Amino acid sequence: MLELFAGVGGFRCALESTKTPTESTEDPAPGYQVVWANQWEPDAKRQWAADIYRWHWPGELDGRDIRAVLSDPHTLARLEELRPDVLVGGFPCQDYSVAQPVRRAHGLAGDKGQLWWSVHDLLKQLRERGQPVAHLILENVDRLLSSPAGARGRDFTVILGSLLELGYAVEWRVVNAADYGYPTRRKRLYILAHHQHTALGRAALAAAANAHSARQWLTQDGAIARGLPGDTNTETGLLLPHELPQLLADTELSPAKSPFANAGLCACGQVWTAPIAARSSADFTAFVGQAQPLTLGDVVAGTTVVPEAFFIPEDQLPRWQACKGAKRIPRVSATGHVYTYSEGAMAFPDPLDRPARTVITSEGGASPSRTTHVVRHADGRLRRLTPEEVEALMGFARGHTALDGIRPAQRVALMGNAIVVGVVRQLGWGLLQARVQAAPGMGTSSPVREGYSLDGA
């Protein structure tokens, strides 16, 4: 496995704990092993994410800009020798994120959006060296499906086209972690791709032949569906086929709505897309290790000591309440248009019997904020979440980012950029299972599903 934009190692935490049987022994073998990783944050005074990654995994981490890697023939030759099967990564999402105002969300044209082409170029160079990467597991914000604002869906159409050009069949789904029992409502787009030289890639190509088999792939046979079961209510006509060249031409005409539903399959230039919802379940044990879904309260209950700095002083409570309350504010746009900015009221404090809201990078600040979680402590006082609690919400071990010298706000910001470990573990498990089913020679045993705990075990 190659891990790009590795951050603090979320993909590695998720996938190296996933195991699959081998034909030579009954003992499960690791399903994934990282053989090379890259992490570099532009304009950062200190590379905290890279330092934390090296703290946990002292082996090689390439800390250069990925564009420098692509221009280094020695590194490319080494990656060729490693013969990677899987490439994973959450390529930077700032240019698509809902945290950005629409006017500043530049999509693929933005500085960080352009890093998609670094992923593409690395895949292309490995393919040209005779070592095409078999499978991809990629993550981004769901707004990528409707980016940019002026031509909704164009960016994702370009990404699909670039992967098709490299010989991949592509499946995708927007997943809300809370729908599978995880303790945070974090919605992210997951893209899995399978090269046409693989058995799974050929199976995906066959599935794109008609609406029935495409629906079967999206709800049962695909890697995503196996790891994160989902259903669609579409029976006829709503699983929309598109020819990719026509899609690109259509999105250039500035459509008001993206042509992409939250899930789909793209192969041989044909795109099938449909709304997929998490399959209803009364037992979440397979995902979170217990029948009932996990909540913010489950995470908070695992905390024994809270530093005094996380408690909100009484004199600051009115400011916090104002941030969380409903508001209607007259504003004037840059062009002179007068409008009213409005926000609804938020729960204050956050309810402990539900999943947490999405953690964003500013969560760790001590100043009153609309987006920062506030919970009621056992003694009745209100407080912010500790970095350890945010780590647990995301499925990391408590203390994963507790490197000497790092500030609490920096630790939380790193979690705001991270993946939900349990969700990616399920995707990895689904990919292993789909590979077994697609390739008869690999045996009939299914991969071993590992458990989940609030401490990332």
Span 142-169, pLDDT tens digits: 999 998 888 889 899 999 999 999 999 9
Element (H, E) at 322: helix 317-324
User: What confidence score (pLDDT) does residue 133 get?
Assistant: 97
CATH superfamily of 2-282+419-442: Vaccinia Virus protein VP39 (3.40.50.150)
Residue that has been written with the tokens 């020819």 in this structure:
243
Is a pLDDT exceeding 90 seen at residue 44?
Answer: no
Is a pLDDT exceeding 70 seen at residue 290?
Answer: yes
Given a contact cutoff of 8 angstroms between Cβ atoms, the answer to whether 37 and 15 are in contact is no
Mean of pLDDT over the chain: 89
CA distances to 31, 74, 241, 246 from 85, rounded to whole Å, are: 11, 20, 30, 32
Given a contact cutoff of 8 angstroms between Cβ atoms, the answer to whether 50 and 42 are in contact is no
Span 69-120, pLDDT tens digits: 999 999 999 999 999 999 999 988 654 444 444 454 444 554 554 789 999 9
Residue 93 sits at φ, ψ, to 5 deg, of: -115, 0
Local confidence band at 336 (pLDDT 50, 70, 90 cut-offs) = confident
Domain boundaries, the chain: 2-282+419-442, 286-416
Between 59 and 199, the more confident residue is 199
Fold that domain 286-416 belongs to in CATH:
DNA Methylase; Chain A, domain 2 (3.90.120)
Count Cβ atoms within 10 A of the Cβ of residue 26 and give its class: 0-12 exposed, 13-18 middle, 19 or more buried: exposed
pTM for this model (two decimals) = 0.91
- CA-based diameter of the chain, in Å? 72
Cis, bond preceding 241 (omega within 30 deg of 0) = no
Residue type at 178 in one-letter notation? A
Residue that has been written with the tokens 């259509």 in this structure:
250
Between 454 and 218, the more confident residue is 218
Percent of the chain whose predicted confidence (pLDDT) is above 70: 88
User: What confidence score (pLDDT) does residue 98 get?
Assistant: 46
Span 344-380, pLDDT tens digits: 999 999 999 999 999 999 999 999 999 999 999 999 9
User: What confidence score (pLDDT) does residue 85 get?
Assistant: 96
Q: Which two tokens stand for residue 292?
A: 């009932």
